[in-house]
């Protein structure tokens, strides 16, 4: 993942469906489809090609994912998207939200945000 995608608006105007539909209509049909990530932060996921064969209780180890954090899609500690997937997701967001509402930047020139986590320490 060599770049980060961000949006300038606070919500997906038409929801996830137009983004998913555009992406999935343009992707290589031999690859798994883009899906909405069922997490509280929201985001996008793609099942790994050998998803059903991976013996792991943690589904996060069986998918590629990007989660929303500060209006940007970040992989944080999880398996992220490759550049081809990222570029198509960027195009899908531009198609759905408009070019003025979506941007990308090189992740190596700017620090990528991490997902905010709260840790409670018991006394």
What residues pair up with 85 in beta bridges, in sequence order? none
Least confident of 17-31, 51-65, 107-121: 107-121
- Domain positions in the chain are 3-106
pLDDT of residue 106: 84
**Burial class, 65, CB count within 10 angstroms (exposed 0-12 / middle 13-18 / buried 19+):** buried
- For the stretch 71-112, pLDDT in tens is 999 998 899 999 999 999 999 999 999 999 999 988 766 555
Higher pLDDT, 112 or 14: 14
* Residues whose CB falls within 8 Å of the CB of residue 64, separated by 6 or more in sequence, listed in order: 45, 46, 48, 75, 78, 79, 80, 81, 82, 85
Please report the beta strands in 33-92, taking only residues with DSSP state E, as ranges in sequence order: 34-36, 43-47, 63-69, 72-74
pLDDT at 31 over 60: yes
- DSSP element (H, E) containing 103: strand 102-106
């Amino acid at each position: 993942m060599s770049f980060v995608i961000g949006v300038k608006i606070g919500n997906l105007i038409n929801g996830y469906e137009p983004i998913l539909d555009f992406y999935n209509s343009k992707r290589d049909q031999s690859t798994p489809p883009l899906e909405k990530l069922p997490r509280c932060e929201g985001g996008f996921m793609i099942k790994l090609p050998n998803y059903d064969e991976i013996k792991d209780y943690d589904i996060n180890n069986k998918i590629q994912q990007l989660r929303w954090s500060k209006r940007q899609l970040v992989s944080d500690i999880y398996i992220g998207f490759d550049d081809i997937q990222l570029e198509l997701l960027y195009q899908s967001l531009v198609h759905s939200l408009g070019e003025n509402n979506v941007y990308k930047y090189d992740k190596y020139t700017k620090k990528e945000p991490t997902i905010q986590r709260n840790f409670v320490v018991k006394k």
